Structure 1
């Protein structure tokens, strides 16, 4: 069976809708917990595709959280052998860092649902299917676009929301989130929401409002990406 490595940092920030699509396409999801499992011992040949998920830490936190350095090494090795890869939020920032781009705090939080503005390249990518449907943002860091990558999307708060690089898709926003389980996010990040002065009631209401449309479009987007980059696996 084909295998998708899912590298995650929090139990509730999981593969979600990406996992649904990969499962339907015959992939077994192999979860690796970056905070607990021995990343350095993972054999590159065990994965056909790689999904790197989010978490409330930064690329620059390697001194405090040493597993980040192991993740960066693993990602670098996967890039060298050109494994298809999707990075979300922290995962996208890790990929950008390995590719030589700067990752740093924005100085403010972008948390909530809002629409993307797609670049010309974004309009030619699977992300074009999202249209004006608001997506879930939940971050305080931002990446620059690596050399050789295509910038796909932006928002008024954060100019770099997505990029593609060869067979890699990096998303700053959480298109993967299964909003049927959004309460896990609200509870798991309650301290951050309180510090940012964000009412979870408003986020919950927005999630209910957009989740149906988002699920349909997100799964189509991940399916299109898979058809393009996983067809020969």
Structure 2
């Protein structure tokens, strides 16, 4: 099995997702849009992961590769491949499938809770009733046609969604490790201005190890849910 991930900036890699994919037996390959941006053949991909990044899903003039990336995402979804989108990745899935991406009313940066949106369907992933997770986003999205809302928060209505059994988009970062949190802070600390849902650098980086282990475990549950729908 081959897992392929789209990486938009050097400082937002797979985090805890990498170890999970390796343990599940996947060969891991990547497209690094900040470098060559070479896309694989879609038939060679068994699991697609779309990572985050500071650009907007709408920034096609500045980043022309976004158009081809969204075409690939849509083709992967229509081919019934398991697809996971994280933050910008979730926004790219939403945009690819007919949703709208736009600025959220507030920026969410730091550790804040999200609440599950319950579903009676066994095929829909169930988040915990409430869980504290890591955020770093200023935009949000409307749900594409046929998408099921999975999570919400006080600062942002659409935090996660599922399309069919094979696609999940998550606005927040469950893959974050202490090292990746440090990396995003170092590269994006100019965004840490005063705001209702913006924590300070010290608050972000003082999170206990147990919090990272909790979100990484939940990331594993999401990946397992998608893996179970892989062919």
TM superposition score normalised by structure 2: 0.89
Do the aligned partners of 2:46 and 2:81 also contact (CA within 8 Å) in 1?
Answer: yes
The residue that corresponds to 1:229 in the other structure is 229
Secondary structure of the 1:189 match is: helix
Stretches of structure 1 lacking an aligned partner (at least 5 in a row): none
Which residue matches 2:113?
Answer: 115
Query: Secondary structure of 2:206's partner?
Result: helix
Q: Which runs of 5+ in 2 are unaligned?
A: none
| Counterpart residue number, 2:202 | 201
Rounded Cα–Cα distance in structure 1 between residues aligned with 2:192 and 2:89: 21
Question: Aligned-pair distance for 1:12?
Answer: 2.5
| Cα distance in 1 for residues equivalent to 2:146 and 2:131 | 28
Aligned 8 A contact 1:111 1:137 in 2: yes
3-state SS of paired residue (1:83): coil
Contact 1:122 1:151 in 2 (8 A): no
CA gap of 1:70–1:191, structure 2 versus 1, over 3 A, is same
Give how far 1:23 is off: 1.0
- Name the structure 2 match of 1:3: 2
Measure, in 2, the Cα distance between the counterparts of 1:184 and 1:208. Answer: 16
User: Which residue of the partner structure matches residue 24 of structure 2?
Assistant: 25
Match of 1:80 among 75, 78, 81: 78
May I ask how many residue pairs the two structures share in their alignment?
227
TM superposition shift of 1:177? 1.6
Cα drift, residue 18 of structure 1: 2.1
C-alpha distance in 2 between matches for 1:18 and 1:140:
23
Query: Which residue of structure 2 lines up, in the alignment, with residue 190 of structure 1?
Result: 189
Structure with higher helix content:
1
Q: CA RMSD in A?
A: 2.1
Query: C-alpha deviations, 1:126-153, integer Å up to 9, x for none?
Result: 443x443300111000011111110111
1:114 shift after superposition: 1.4
Kept in 1, the 8 Å contact 2:3–2:45? The answer is yes
Q: Report the 3-state secondary structure (helix = DSSP H, G, I; strand = E; otherwise coil) of the residue aligned with 2:3.
A: strand
* Cα pair 1:126 1:225 within 8 Å, conserved: no
Determine the C-alpha separation between the residues in 2 that align with 1:36 and 1:180. 22
Query: Secondary structure at 2:213's aligned position in 1?
Result: helix
Deviation at 1:195, TM superposition (A): 7.7
Contact 1:54/1:91 (CA < 8 Å) preserved in 2? yes
1:141 corresponds, among 139, 142, 148, to: 139
After superposition, give the CA deviation of every residue in 1:33-74 in whole Å (9 maximum; x if it has no partner).
Answer: 0222244x5311121110000000101110111111121111
- Using the TM superposition, give the Cα deviation of residue 194 of structure 1 relative to its aligned residue in structure 2, in angstroms: 4.6
Q: Which SS does the other structure have where 1:174 is aligned?
A: coil
Q: 1:67 to 1:101 in 2, by over 3 A?
A: same
